[in-house]
Amino acid sequence: MKAGESLRLRNFPITFFAIALGLAGFSLAVQKLGGANGLGILPALEIPATVLVYLTIPMFALTALAYIAKMIRYPGTVRGEFNHPVRINFFPLVAKILLVLSVIYLDRDMRISYSLWIVGASLQFVASIAIISVWIRHTHFAIEQMTPAWFIPIVGSLIVPIAGVPHGFIEISWFFFAVGLIFWIALFVIVMYRLVFHPPIPDKLLPTLFILFAPPAIAFISYSKLAGLSEHISGPDAFARILYYFSLFMLILVLFRIQAFARIKFFLSWWAYSFPLAAQALATVLMLHMTHRAFYRYLALFEVGLLALVILMLVILTGIAVSREEICVEE
């Protein structure tokens, strides 16, 4: 391995998995919006959804292989990332990607979906125990290091019931939902305290503000599965509405700060824009499914359209950054 390639491998960041997660979320949003098993809003999206799935899987596989190579060659660097107050929270991205893929394959191949869910849920449990243990016994974290990225390990637990319920794991799904919901509420209070009473988060981590509306959006979807609301189309109950409308409010709040995001330099953390937008779009598609109101139809089309533009922008900017060798460099 050449010196330059070796250096890039050592600096290959765990945040690279955010690309695969964003693509997986986008694939699922497109599939649910217009695939054969979707709502039929845009039936022509069935083929693009399939293409996106088969682009996401190789991207995930290549990223995983690169990071495994880094773990073997530079274990000390990987330990350093795991002990980092922000980067530690990106390790559960692997579990989240597998869980999202398991949801995608619910409409494609139940056996593959089942296998992906088993591995994803197991990794999510291990990651939750490991990372929360680090949070509890740390000696080097400070409130200024707190960002919405700390939600990432918790969001994975909220994803588990979406495919867990159809596969028959009802009590396990409730277990993960309870863990994710309570920890999200606790962390949300801390994050808001940090944002209001301490200096602004660095520009590089500013895109993580989009993660603010991901947990309630995913919790809405999971709760609807657990309570049987999505299957019987009986409409959302009071708690489901609270989760959905809070996520919608947080999305609007973040979009009102769009000028601040436009001014910052491109970082790989920009991919934090993608999955939360996908989660919110999926929540709106579910609201349309349960209420059949035109408002949610137009809102879903807007959110998926916005997500598509963001994904296109991120792919272009990432490609430019890679060509200029601005990624996988020492910080």
**Could you tell me the pLDDT band of residue 118, with boundaries at 50, 70 and 90?**
very high
Rounded-to-integer distance, Cα 224 and Cα 236, Å? 7
Is a pLDDT exceeding 70 seen at residue 228? yes
Listed residue (315, 331, 329, 281) closest to 59, CA to CA: 315
CATH fold for domain 3-323: Glycosyltransferase (1.50.10)
Choose between 49 and 309: higher pLDDT. 309
The mean per-residue pLDDT over the stretch 245-269 comes to 83
Choose between 141 and 30: higher pLDDT. 30
Rounded-to-integer distance, Cα 317 and Cα 273, Å? 13
Could you tell me the CA-to-CA distances from 137 to 80, 128, 133, 229, 259 in Å, in that order? 17, 14, 6, 40, 38
- Sign of the CA dihedral with 105 first, then 101, 277, and 227 last: positive
Is a pLDDT exceeding 70 seen at residue 14? yes
CB atoms within 10 A of CB 322: 11
**Could you tell me the pLDDT band of residue 75, with boundaries at 50, 70 and 90?**
confident
Residue type for position 250: M
Rounded-to-integer distance, Cα 202 and Cα 223, Å? 34
- Mean confidence (pLDDT) of the chain: 86
The mean per-residue pLDDT over the stretch 225-253 comes to 86
185, two tokens: 């509420």
Q: With contact defined as beta carbons under 8 Å apart, do 244 and 285 qualify?
A: no
Rounded-to-integer distance, Cα 178 and Cα 118, Å? 19
Is a pLDDT exceeding 60 seen at residue 38? no
Is a pLDDT exceeding 90 seen at residue 264? no
pLDDT in tens, 135-177: 887 767 778 778 888 888 888 999 999 999 999 999 999 999 9
SS (H, E, C) the chain: CCHHHHHHHHCCCHHHHHHHHHHHHHHHHHHHHHCCCCCCCCHHHHHHHHHHHHHHHHHHHHHHHHHHHHHHHCHHHHHHHHCCCCHHHHCCHHHHHHHHHHHHHHHCCHHHHHHHHHHHHHHHHHHHHHHHHHHHHCCCCCHHHCCHHHHHHHHHHHHHHHHHCCCCCHHHHHHHHHHHHHHHHHHHHHHHHHHHHCCCCCHHHHHHHHHHHHHHHHHHHHHHHHCCHHHHCCCCCHHHHHHHHHHHHHHHHHHCCHHHHHHCCCCHHHHHHHHHHHHHHHHHHHHHHHHCCHHHHHHHHHHHHHHHHHHHHHHHHHHHHHHCCCCCCCC
- Sign of the CA dihedral with 273 first, then 278, 283, and 285 last: positive
pLDDT in tens, 196-215: 888 888 777 778 888 888 99
Domain ranges of the chain: 3-323
